[in-house]
Structure 1
Amino acid sequence: MKKDVLFMTGNEDFSTIIEKKAYYVDKTSYLKELFMSSYEVMNALFIRPRRFGKTLNLNMIKSFCELNYQNPGDKSYQQKLFIDNGRNLAVAGEDYKDLREKVMGEYPVISISFRGVEGNTFQSAVSGLLGIIAELYERFLFLRESVNQSEERIKQFNDIYSFCTTKYKKLSDPDNLNEAIVICCSFLATLAEMLYREYGRKILVIIDEYDVPLQKAVIAEEPYYNKMLEIIRKISVTTFKQNPDPWLYKGIVSGCLRIAHQSVFTDANNFTTFGMNDEPYTGFFGFTKDETHKLLADCGLSEKENEVKEWYDGYRFGNKHIYCPWSLISYCYAATQKDIYTPQPFWVNTSGNDLIALFAKNSIDAHDSGNIERLQQFSDRNIIEITLKEFSTYPDINNNMDFDIFMTLMLHTGYATYVEETESSDKVKIRIPNNEVALCFKSKFESFYTKNNHHWFNQTLSLVDLLMENKTDDAQALISSMLKQFLSIRNTGDELYYHGFMTGILGIAATTKGLEYHEEIETGSGFSDIILDNFDSESACILELKKAESLDVCYLAAQDATKQIIKKDYASKFISKKYKKIYGIGVGFAKKSCRIVSLGNLAEDSANQ
């Protein structure tokens, strides 16, 4: 293990990483694909999960291409960052010489990120967008002094900048809000035209996280999706329209989801989308197997490679195995700087897990057993088959979404991946990528079965009442219903699964009702599975659980459970205390169903002997 490796976790500025001599996984070879190859496209949309290096890669592209505005033709900045840094980056090679001469430091660049455009109201989101515009325009204030610009253009620039810096908090005024919307829709084209006039060179436009404002608009307290969609669409139209302005050189856009692609880029037919399986960019985002192998070796952590693979590998982009870069860098930092070698969940703790909870909750509330069962299979880390389906608007997320649509969404966002033998087609096989994501599903599902989920918790309270009253028919129906709702990450082939299930649903509910709850407690000549004890009413319920091999013998398993209650004399403790009601109940489980057999009130049987 090496302590001298510097990691700048969370830093997405390429120049800072290089200048500070921090660790950098070289992705500069893809510059040739972007700008000088048969794969070159006019406008590219890259779809990848969050924290897979999109922002850093786009920043690297900006650093490589951007013109020195004060001294056009001076490429010393790029020379220092990409060539004379002692790192032997791919782009410094002789076969990239033509690229460096024609692209490096040659273009004005407009680069923005929509990551921070959010808010509980439309006005607050627009205010956030105005702040981004103000920061962008501040970088180009020198254009106001140029003799190449018309007075009209300079006035337009000043009006936009002034409005963004002085009225961004005054959008409750309808007139101000309307003017803000106009500015948001036109700011990029206005600046691009001025840069084109100033330098006579076409403009590279980079937009990072284009879809964040749409995501945030859906989950806001006062949803405003359609209003935000109109702004993002108009930005697209004024920048990437079918017949582009002469100032546009190329557009590079990133996002997490392909959702809203058609509605946002309707008038930008020259857009090419590169998803996870689209060559030649399958290795552009995330760390490949070879890159990971080198990273661990450089950190003196080669012996941890198998463990790291189980936690952070598992993604398949095209034919490549891809590791989550955020988690891998975070792990290496913890190991080299803090001597923490146990893998931790890094990526799943960076937000964005609400979609899982929302889909599962909607499926449970709708009693959609088909969705629940398939999600159960997936969360148990089984391979499942889905039909790839896209959807056109984010509000679909809040509806009772089709399972295949939801799983397509999980693929986009990094919670699912293609299995080895799957080819990219309509029908694909998918699975959970790694331990980190599996842990995320486990924690999300466990949160459903707590007091916070009122629908579920009320069912557990009812079950306690039914069992304490020996209403076995109703209890049997309720348990079977709850089994079909229960999203576990354990194997239903094991009796411990059912024991864990019953423990989970009865433990908190019994305590809430003032009952003592015991499991595996010694009583009689053995250890009973579960006991519910109401001291005040002198009543108890003794539960013995058995797993059946099939539904056909589920009833027999329940009978065997009651025989064990008698044989082991589990009721003796309560009989000696003179309890009035002691119910002995055997429960047989098979798959997602159960059968219950009751011995009746064992206190009465004892009194009659």
Structure 2
Amino acid sequence: MARVVGIGKQSFEKIIKENCFYVDKTGFIKEWWDNKDDVTLITRPRRFGKTLNMDMIKCFFSNEYKDRGDLFEGLDIWKDEKYRELQGTYPVIFLSFAEIKQNNYQDTIAKIKKILCSLYQSFMFLKDWDGLTDEEKNNLKRISEDMSDVTAQSALNELSNYLSRYYGKKVIILLDEYDTPMQEAYTNGYWEELVAFTRSLFNSTFKTNPYLERAIMTGITRVSKESIFSDLNNLEVVTTLSSKYTTAFGFTEQEVFNALDEFGLSAQKGEVKAWYDGFMFGKQKDIYNPWSIINFLDKKEYNPYWAESSSNGLINNLVQKGSPYIKMMMETLLKGEIINVPIDEQIVFSELDYSEDAVWSLMLASGYIKVISADALTGDRRKARMYRLALTNFEIQLMFEKMILRWFIPAKNETNEFIKALISGDIESMNEYMNDVTLNTFSSFDSGKHTSEKKAPENFYHGFVLGLMVDQTDNYIIASNRESGFGRYDIMLEPKDKNNTHYPGIIIEFKVINTRKENSLEETVEAALKQIEEKNYDAELINRGVNKENIHHYGFAFKGKEVLIDGR
């Protein structure tokens, strides 16, 4: 009989006691302990079992769970006598930053202090222990929600001191989702302030802490060593590209197929693989995201469970407000094709506003794209390696398509009408509808302080191309910024049915008014149309079998939020 699937359960003890569906990951305990690394940072995409694995480690090592070997009976770790003797023998400090999602620095620090206060409450038996000096007992009382930043930064170090003396054994520290506040700090504009606070907190906790046996931090990203980890030369970093712990997080294909057999879903293996396979850790291929698998086992329906389990807000903003280059590369990915870009595993959030490479690194760490292959390592370790990347699986494909369509919800009717006008050659309607779209949605595509006023319209319309592509891929092959004739066109729509005159070939050229050369939008749009003809952009469509008489040229001229379209 198949076990019950408990959705959202992150308590190892509860899962085992209630005999819920569980894939045995206790081998991770042995692998980590045998590696003997002082401080380990493990990055994996969200909902890949990081919190459950951390809770599992707590249950195994914490002296709060002394004589609770029953939780591990029948699991892989319990086969080793040496590890049976280790169970329940260490003081463990376990905390999570997963809920620190405040939109300003002050509230973020207040939340961290609240977490530290709650942690101390579970060890308040120390205040009655004669082993502490009067000053140390006063230090315990100073741990409050209005404590100073300096007190908060040393709180975990001091707690380690007290616990190690009380139990006569150094402590294990587990910090889950360490980078959640860092992502919020980037999104809300207080990155530098939080970096300074966090650097001191981590240095005190993980570097200058003689009472620390070992520690694990988990997160989605590897934040740059030059920011919060600058003092931690004892840090072992394990990213999605590393060879350690490749099967400890996420489900292997065999684990997924065994689960499908258990739940009477053996016939679904091929479809499940298409939807949810594709993740790769180190050289371990065919890793599945656990969240989608357990939801599929429970509901027995195909849905983008993992992709829709959060707002994906950061990625949404980076793509929506990104450069035309980023949007062009997203077009390539959405067509099922491969992009070739440099990857640097050390995410520098402060660079995301202007570094296109940092965006791909974040998307890879977050699980949205996967590695197809990589260039060989060179002697120059300072250079980022070039990686060939693709969308991870069908679930991610659906997520991005829905994300792009949502950008245009405020003007969906206008957009549909514009597409009809574009195909039919109705210039008057194109102008009317496009100006409506611009007024209704332009602000949501404005790239803000890092993008010039001249570039903002270009970003908007390249965003529009992606939305257009999702709607028209049945009828057109859509490309942008590609060579044809003697230059590079902005947008080309190649009809799939070359004999159907209802779907003409379409070439679009965008131009922002140059006030030094042009006096009006009329002159700008004429320059755009002249460029299409002089550069012979028709060449590619004609070579592919489109009749020259069935090719439409359109020029788009911008001045702020004003748009003028003309064609011939």
Indicate the TM-score class for this superposition, using the shorter chain for normalisation. 0.7 to 0.9
The question of whether the paired residues in 2 share the 8 Å contact of 1:558 and 1:597 is answered with: no
Q: C-alpha separation between the residues in 1 aligned to 2:469 and 2:364?
A: 23
Q: C-alpha separation between the residues in 1 aligned to 2:120 and 2:471?
A: 59
Q: Which of 51, 56, 76 is the equivalent residue of 1:90? A: 76
Q: C-alpha separation between the residues in 1 aligned to 2:430 and 2:125?
A: 83
Q: C-alpha separation between the residues in 2 aligned to 1:263 and 1:456?
A: 44
Q: State the 1:92 CA deviation.
A: 1.2
The question of whether the paired residues in 2 share the 8 Å contact of 1:449 and 1:457 is answered with: no
Q: C-alpha separation between the residues in 2 aligned to 1:461 and 1:215?
A: 41
Q: State the 1:5 CA deviation.
A: 2.2
Q: Which residue of 1 aligns with 2:71?
A: 81
Q: State the 1:44 CA deviation.
A: 0.5
Q: Which residue of 1 aligns with 2:177?
A: 209
The question of whether the paired residues in 1 share the 8 Å contact of 2:344 and 2:358 is answered with: yes
Q: Which residue of 2 aligns with 1:12?
A: 10
Q: State the 1:597 CA deviation.
A: 7.0
The question of whether the paired residues in 1 share the 8 Å contact of 2:351 and 2:358 is answered with: no
1:415-430 alignment runs, 5 A limit: 415-419=368-372, 426-430=385-389
Q: Which residue of 1 aligns with 2:265?
A: 301
Give the SS at the match of 2:392: coil
Q: C-alpha separation between the residues in 2 aligned to 1:16 and 1:492?
A: 46
The question of whether the paired residues in 1 share the 8 Å contact of 2:374 and 2:387 is answered with: no
Q: State the 1:41 CA deviation.
A: 1.0
Q: Which of 380, 385, 401 is the equivalent residue of 2:355? A: 401
1:305-384 alignment runs, 5 A limit: 305-320=269-284, 321-335=286-300, 341=301, 343-363=302-322, 368-384=323-339
**CA 1:319/1:529 → structure 2, altered by over 3 Å: closer, same or farther?**
closer
> Residue 110 in 1 paired to residue 93 in 2?
yes
Cα offsets for 1:294-326 (capped at 9, x unmatched): 111111111111111111111111232100001
Q: Which residue of 1 aligns with 2:542?
A: 553
> Residue 234 in 1 paired to residue 200 in 2?
yes
Q: Letter of the 2:427 partner, please give it.
A: L
1:50-89 alignment runs, 5 A limit: 50-68=46-64, 75-77=66-68, 79-83=69-73, 88-89=74-75
Give the SS at the match of 2:151: helix
> Residue 451 in 1 paired to residue 410 in 2?
yes
**CA 1:319/1:393 → structure 2, altered by over 3 Å: closer, same or farther?**
closer
Q: Which of 216, 222, 225 is the equivalent residue of 1:258? A: 222
Gaps of 5+ in 1: 69-73, 165-175, 336-340, 502-525, 531-547, 562-585, 590-594, 599-609
Q: C-alpha separation between the residues in 2 aligned to 1:107 and 1:495?
A: 61
Q: C-alpha separation between the residues in 2 aligned to 1:386 and 1:460?
A: 32
The question of whether the paired residues in 2 share the 8 Å contact of 1:276 and 1:317 is answered with: yes
Q: Which of 138, 145, 151 is the equivalent residue of 2:121? A: 138
**CA 1:11/1:445 → structure 2, altered by over 3 Å: closer, same or farther?**
same
Gaps of 5+ in 2: 379-384, 436-456, 481-499, 505-536, 555-564
> Residue 127 in 1 paired to residue 92 in 2?
no
Q: C-alpha separation between the residues in 1 aligned to 2:174 and 2:351?
A: 28
Q: C-alpha separation between the residues in 2 aligned to 1:54 and 1:98?
A: 25
The question of whether the paired residues in 2 share the 8 Å contact of 1:379 and 1:488 is answered with: no
1:31-46 alignment runs, 5 A limit: 31-36=29-34, 39-46=35-42
Q: State the 1:556 CA deviation.
A: 9.9
Cα offsets for 1:533-563 (capped at 9, x unmatched): xxxxxxxxxxxxxxx99436399957644xx
Cα offsets for 1:553-603 (capped at 9, x unmatched): 399957644xxxxxxxxxxxxxxxxxxxxxxxx6379xxxxx9975xxxxx
Q: Which residue of 2 aligns with 1:587?
A: 552
Give the SS at the match of 1:276: coil
The question of whether the paired residues in 2 share the 8 Å contact of 1:205 and 1:251 is answered with: yes
Q: Which residue of 2 aligns with 1:199?
A: 167
Q: State the 1:27 CA deviation.
A: 0.7
Q: Which residue of 1 aligns with 2:484?
A: none
The question of whether the paired residues in 2 share the 8 Å contact of 1:380 and 1:489 is answered with: no
Say what the alpha-carbon RMSD is for the aligned residues.
3.8
Q: Letter of the 2:348 partner, please give it.
A: T
The question of whether the paired residues in 2 share the 8 Å contact of 1:112 and 1:136 is answered with: yes
Q: Letter of the 1:211 partner, please give it.
A: D
Q: State the 1:413 CA deviation.
A: 0.3
Of 351-360 and 372-381, more deviation after overlay is shown by 351-360
The question of whether the paired residues in 2 share the 8 Å contact of 1:157 and 1:190 is answered with: no
**CA 1:17/1:549 → structure 2, altered by over 3 Å: closer, same or farther?**
farther
Cα offsets for 1:502-548 (capped at 9, x unmatched): xxxxxxxxxxxxxxxxxxxxxxxx99679xxxxxxxxxxxxxxxxx9
**CA 1:422/1:7 → structure 2, altered by over 3 Å: closer, same or farther?**
farther
Q: C-alpha separation between the residues in 2 aligned to 1:392 and 1:323?
A: 24
**CA 1:392/1:256 → structure 2, altered by over 3 Å: closer, same or farther?**
closer
**CA 1:287/1:556 → structure 2, altered by over 3 Å: closer, same or farther?**
closer
Q: State the 1:106 CA deviation.
A: 1.4
Q: Which residue of 2 aligns with 1:467?
A: 427
Q: Which residue of 1 aligns with 2:138?
A: 155
Q: C-alpha separation between the residues in 2 aligned to 1:309 and 1:412?
A: 21
The question of whether the paired residues in 1 share the 8 Å contact of 2:418 and 2:430 is answered with: no
Q: Which of 476, 480, 483 is the equivalent residue of 1:497? A: 476
**CA 1:123/1:304 → structure 2, altered by over 3 Å: closer, same or farther?**
same
**CA 1:210/1:456 → structure 2, altered by over 3 Å: closer, same or farther?**
farther
**CA 1:204/1:91 → structure 2, altered by over 3 Å: closer, same or farther?**
same
Q: C-alpha separation between the residues in 1 aligned to 2:250 and 2:468?
A: 27
Q: C-alpha separation between the residues in 1 aligned to 2:204 and 2:400?
A: 41
Q: State the 1:227 CA deviation.
A: 2.0
Q: C-alpha separation between the residues in 2 aligned to 1:104 and 1:470?
A: 70
Q: State the 1:374 CA deviation.
A: 1.8
Q: State the 1:358 CA deviation.
A: 1.8
Q: C-alpha separation between the residues in 2 aligned to 1:597 and 1:121?
A: 49
Residue-pair matches, total: 475
> Residue 436 in 1 paired to residue 391 in 2?
no
Q: Letter of the 2:202 partner, please give it.
A: S
TM-score (norm 2): 0.75
The question of whether the paired residues in 1 share the 8 Å contact of 2:90 and 2:172 is answered with: yes
Q: Which residue of 1 aligns with 2:84?
A: 100
The question of whether the paired residues in 2 share the 8 Å contact of 1:9 and 1:329 is answered with: yes
Cα offsets for 1:175-203 (capped at 9, x unmatched): x5xx4422321211111111011111011
Q: State the 1:121 CA deviation.
A: 2.2
The question of whether the paired residues in 2 share the 8 Å contact of 1:27 and 1:284 is answered with: yes
Q: Which residue of 2 aligns with 1:27?
A: 25
Q: State the 1:284 CA deviation.
A: 0.9
**CA 1:107/1:391 → structure 2, altered by over 3 Å: closer, same or farther?**
closer
Give the SS at the match of 2:20: coil
The question of whether the paired residues in 1 share the 8 Å contact of 2:7 and 2:294 is answered with: yes
Cα offsets for 1:398-436 (capped at 9, x unmatched): x1331x221111110010111268778812211111111
